[in-house]
Amino acid sequence: MKDENTAKTEDITEKTAAKTENISEETAENTENINEEGTAEKKGGSSFLNDAAEIVESILLSVFIVLLVFTYLFRLSDVSGPSMEPTLTEKDRVVISPLFYTPEQNDIIIVNSSKLDKLIVKRVVALEGQSVDIDFEKGIVSVDGEPLDEQLYIVGENGEKPELKADHFVNTLTTYDMGAFESYPVTVPQGCVFVLGDNRNRSKDSKHIELGFVPEEEIVGKVIFRISPLSKFGTVD
């Protein structure tokens, strides 16, 4: 009888041990699954944060590059007034190249004039050492004895625009002496340029008593492109 009870006890113990082992295995398996799911969720969250950080970093880098470009390589400026008509008109928005600029004849430039205390846009007519002569009766500007290659801008009867056959258009001939010099010709001093607006008789430029020669150090840069209005989008000559 005792052996029978002992056998039953051992059987119960074995079954209990087996059940305990199964429960332990199931618990371990469930714990492992939970850990794997938690790890996956953490990885997913971490991946999203990394992607977001990369996007923000790319945006900030792009903004920095744009600021760098428009601070040192290019600048934007709005045209004010009629002095450069027909080449540039009121509210035209232009791109300026200021870096390592050396003025050349016929360039359109932006000047930060200390005499006028404002930004002005003009065309370079003569460089240092060159002689400028203006025949106000005939409206002819000459540099070193050679008349400038200019063409008067006259719209046809039917509104057609003239074909450019010269270096550039002028809106009016230079017939109005604005008192910058007692007489012509004049020689451009070292480190300066002589500038005129294309709308010659409506331009406060180097022939005007308030401006005269322009120091090169006051040149902001060369106008290279017009971005607004879109109807006139393109290079500027």
pLDDT one-digit tens code per residue, 58-79: 888 887 776 666 666 788 899 9
Q: What is the reported pTM?
A: 0.68
In CATH, what is the architecture of 76-235? Answer: Ribbon (2.10)
Q: Does 94 have pLDDT greater than 50?
A: yes
Structure tokens at 151: 């063409």
Place of tokens 């790890």: 39
- Closest by CA to 150, choosing from 111, 192, 187, 200, is 200
List, for residues 20-57, the tens digit of each pLDDT value. 555 555 555 555 555 555 555 555 557 778 888 888 88
Query: Residue 156's pLDDT is what?
Result: 44
Query: Residue 24's pLDDT is what?
Result: 55
Torsion angle (degrees, nearest 10) of CA 206, 204, 215, 93: -130
List, for residues 106-150, the tens digit of each pLDDT value. 999 999 999 999 999 999 999 999 999 999 999 899 999 999 887
- Closest by CA to 103, choosing from 216, 237, 224, is 216
Chain centre distance of CA 170:
28
List, for residues 140-189, the tens digit of each pLDDT value. 999 999 998 876 655 444 545 545 455 555 767 788 899 999 999 999 99
The whole-angstrom separation of Cα 54 and Cα 236 is 39
- Closest by CA to 215, choosing from 237, 196, 188, is 188
